[in-house]
Structure formats: structure tokens, C-alpha cells
């Protein structure tokens, strides 16, 4: 019998196949309500993880997620969202999934036991002492994740594990473990549900808080966004307008003058300088807009 909490049967849903539709969705919703509380209990560990990751970024390090199935897909999702949201340079945050890119759209259940592929992906990432490797797994036991963490640790990288199983093996491998005890799933073993939701919440915090810590926001504005579509162009204009306290039309003019760079546009307007001068001021302060506006005359 498995010792993984994520594989145990939930007494509240043992008759789910006999329930009315309204009862099915209600019982699932009631189970989902437990997720935020479970994540809240892990905030001390999440805080430590953010400090580790943000310090790594400040030292020129990178972040890599490793996971299988839902866990792997969530890692790839979080990594891929960091470029449009924060202009994270290519390779700064990477997601690896057991089974490779094919597994993003197809189920490859045996891939989670593949140590060889974990070694291949670690070799591709080439972890160093500056880097952080995060293993994501509901049960915390797949060989793919354990191997990735073990090998990364050998290379001197900091290792973090995310799991919903108190008896996870990755706890013995990772330098830091983020444990979200969400309890038994509504459908026995379907860890894409509560465990997956918890993972998504944790990953949101790891990447977002780390980006905030290295100056990728001004207040709660994503000032390093990439205005590559109509929605993001409009958002960029509105952010410039809000920070500079100017009409959106004028903000758009400065965005265009700044070659779509929100921070450069803000510095140009608020400091009355040229695009090149704005870039120099930002470079002097490691790209942190708040420091430029506070310290530069």
C-alpha cells in the first residue's frame, strides 16, 4: 500500500458517481477550498525559496523547473509566462517535463520513472552554483524529479522541492521542501486537481515575488512587460500614463519614442531626458525604475 497521501481515497467523495451534478461540483469546490489554506501553511518555506531564487537572479543565476505530467506542464507554463510579463531573458527561467515537449499535449505516464531523460535534461540545463533547480511532484517520488534534484545538487545548484505528500522522497534530496498538504483528491490519485492547484499557486509566488525582488515591477505595475500585441500595447500605455500621471495618448507617444520600453518611457518623461540618457540612468541602477526616480536628478 502506498504511503503517499495523494493516492489515498477521500471519504467525502466515495459516492460521487451517485451524486447529482450540483452535488458533484459542490463537493469538488469544497475540496478546492482547502488548497489556499494548505499553501498558507507553507508560506515560511515559500519565503525562503523566493529569497534563494531572487538572490540567484541577482548573481546572474538561472531557475529551472523539473516535473512529470501535470507538475511538469505547470512548470513549463510558469517559465514561459515570465518573458511576456517580466521580459525575463531567454534561459533565465526554464521548464523541463518528463517526456519532453510531446508530453505537454500527450500523457506519457512512464516518463516519470525515466532517470535517463532526467540526466539528459540536466545535462542540457548545465546547472552551476549560481543556479536553482525546483522539482515539482504531487507525490514527491518520481525518479525523473529525484534524479534531476540529485544531479543538480552534485553540481552545486540550490535545490527546492514542491510536493503535497508528507512522506515524499524528495524531502531527503532537496535543500528546501515546500509541502502543501491538501489531503486526498476528490478522485483518488487525480493529483491534477488539488495538488496541481497548490503547485500553480506556489509557482505563481516563486516567479512573481522573485521578479518583484529584482525590480521587475514598479508598485504593482509590470513595467518590464513586452508590448507585443494589442492588449499588451494598451496595458503599456496605461502603465506609463499612471506612473507619469499623463493622458494615455501622451503616454503612447513616449512609448513609441522609447521603442516600446515602458521604463525608458517613464524616465524620459519624468526626468526630461533623451532615450539614451534614460537607458544610462536605468543601467546605473540595475534597471530598477524606483531607484532611478528616487536617486536621479
Give the span between the Cα atoms of 238 and 251, in whole angstroms: 7
Cα–chain center distance at 167:
24
* Residue 268 contacts residue 278 (beta carbons within 8 Å): yes
Catalytic residue among 31, 40, 45, 81: 81
CA terminus-to-terminus distance, the chain? 68
Angle between helices 194-213 and 21-41 (to 10 degrees): 40
SS (H, E, C) 154-209: HCCCEEEEEECCCCCHHHHCCCEEEECCCCCCCCCCCCCCHHHHHHHHHHHHHHHH
Count Cα neighbours of 206 within 13 Å in the Cβ-side half-sphere: 33
Catalytic residue among 31, 45, 112, 252: 112
Q: Nine-digit cell at 59?
A: 548573481
3-state DSSP percent of the chain in helix, strand and coil, to 5: 60, 10, 35
Give the span between the Cα atoms of 79 and 236, in whole angstroms: 21
Q: Nine-digit cell at 33?
A: 477550498
Q: Nine-digit cell at 248?
A: 494615455
Is the alpha carbon torsion for 184, 185, 190, 192 positive or negative?
negative
Which value, to the nearest 10 degrees, does the dihedral of the CA atoms of residues 148, 185, 5, 154 take?
10
* Nearest C-alpha neighbor of 216 from the set 89, 102, 120, 110: 89
Give the span between the Cα atoms of 104 and 156, in whole angstroms: 29
Q: Is 45 a catalytic residue?
A: no
Q: Is 124 a catalytic residue?
A: no
Active-site amino acid positions: 81, 112
Amino acid at each position: 500500500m502506498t504511503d503517499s497521501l495523494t493516492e489515498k481515497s477521500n471519504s467525502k467523495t466515495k459516492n460521487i458517481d451517485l451524486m447529482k451534478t450540483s452535488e458533484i461540483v459542490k463537493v469538488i469546490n469544497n475540496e478546492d477550498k482547502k488548497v489556499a489554506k494548505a499553501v498558507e501553511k507553507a508560506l515560511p518555506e515559500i519565503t525562503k525559496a523566493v529569497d534563494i531564487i531572487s538572490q540567484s537572479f541577482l548573481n546572474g543565476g538561472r531557475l529551472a523547473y523539473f516535473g512529470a505530467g501535470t507538475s511538469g506542464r505547470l512548470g513549463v507554463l510558469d517559465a514561459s509566462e515570465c518573458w511576456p510579463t517580466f521580459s525575463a531573458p531567454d534561459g533565465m527561467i526554464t521548464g523541463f517535463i518528463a517526456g519532453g515537449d510531446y508530453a505537454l499535449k500527450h500523457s506519457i505516464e512512464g516518463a516519470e520513472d525515466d532517470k535517463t531523460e532526467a540526466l539528459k535534461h540536466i545535462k542540457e540545463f548545465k546547472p552551476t552554483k549560481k543556479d536553482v533547480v525546483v522539482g515539482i511532484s504531487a507525490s514527491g517520488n518520481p525518479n525523473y524529479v529525484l534524479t534531476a534534484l540529485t544531479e543538480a545538487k552534485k553540481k552545486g545548484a540550490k535545490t527546492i522541492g514542491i510536493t503535497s505528500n508528507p512522506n515524499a522522497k524528495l524531502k531527503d534530496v532537496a535543500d528546501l521542501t515546500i509541502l502543501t498538504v491538501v489531503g486526498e483528491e476528490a478522485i483518488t490519485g487525480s493529483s491534477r486537481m488539488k495538488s496541481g492547484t497548490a503547485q500553480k499557486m506556489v509557482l505563481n509566488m516563486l516567479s512573481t515575488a522573485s521578479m518583484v525582488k529584482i525590480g521587475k515591477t514598479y508598485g504593482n505595475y509590470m513595467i518590464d512587460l513586452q508590448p507585443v500585441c494589442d492588449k499588451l500595447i494598451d496595458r503599456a500605455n496605461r502603465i506609463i500614463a499612471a506612473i507619469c500621471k499623463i493622458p494615455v495618448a501622451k503616454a503612447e507617444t513616449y512609448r513609441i519614442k522609447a521603442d516600446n520600453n515602458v521604463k525608458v518611457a517613464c524616465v524620459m518623461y519624468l526626468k526630461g531626458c533623451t532615450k539614451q540618457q534614460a537607458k544610462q540612468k536605468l543601467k546605473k541602477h540595475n534597471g530598477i525604475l524606483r531607484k532611478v526616480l528616487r536617486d536621479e536628478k
